[in-house]
Amino acid sequence: MVIQKICCLGAGYVGGPTCSVIAWKCPEIKVTVVDLSKERIAQWNSEKLPIYEGRAADLKYVEGAARMIADIAQSNKIVVEKSTVPVRAAESILNILSANQKPGVSYQILSNPEFLAEANAMLAQRISSINSLSAVCEATGADVSEVARAVGLDSRIGSKFLQASIDPTEYNRY
């Protein structure tokens, strides 16, 4: 399936920046961002960008968006839930879409929590740190595997992900 269009429901601090980056990096995809707040859309189109979303964990807006999708969908859709919503929000979205499903329209629901970036940053930091230690080990003749094992013995750090590797931040430069 070739993705040609993306519609983001919610122009808050998750949806707005996410779709602006998608539009910037994928100019061949038509990106549309909609929100119940006309003021918020106007802010995204001005110099005064909205940076606060007070209703971020309120499921009534997510459920309303799911009902809107079910109402207007004419073909198969991939729905990506990316926000600060409670656990099982994707299940709630799927239940609403299934209950209001039109013949010939199917949905795939994906959950992409915004906190994933913080987890990726933590992993990148650990790999970057062990890679720095690897350079010191090469210069001094030490075995980086032994140093990593010794550092990992500290329970506050642990041994997971302390292996020299490709820096994951390199992938984000393209």
pLDDT tens for 112-132 read: 766 555 557 676 677 777 778
DSSP string, 114-168: TTHHHHHHHHHHHHHHHHHHHHHHHHHT--HHHHHHHHHTSTTT-STT-S----G
143 and 80 housed in the same domain? no
The domain containing residue 44 runs over which residues? 5-113
Are 139 and 122 in the same domain?
yes
The per-residue pLDDT for 118 is: 59
Residue type, 70: A
Residue-level pLDDT, tens digit, the chain, 174 residues: 788 999 888 887 778 888 888 888 999 999 999 999 998 889 888 887 776 544 447 678 888 989 999 999 999 998 888 766 666 778 889 999 999 999 999 998 887 766 555 557 676 677 777 778 888 888 899 988 888 888 888 877 777 666 655 544 444 433
Compute how many other C-beta atoms are within 10 angstroms of the C-beta atom of residue 22. Answer: 16
pLDDT value, residue 174: 36
Contact 161, 131 (CB under 8 A): no
| 102 and 127 housed in the same domain | no
- β-sheet bridge partners, residue 70: none
Examine the fold and report which residue of 113, 139, 157 is the final residue of a domain before the chain moves on.
113
Q: How many domains does the chain have?
A: 2
Same domain for 158 and 94, yes or no, is no
Q: What is the pLDDT of residue 100?
A: 94
Instruction: Give residue 133's pLDDT.
Output: 83
pLDDT at 95: 93
State whether 46 and 87 are in the same domain.
yes
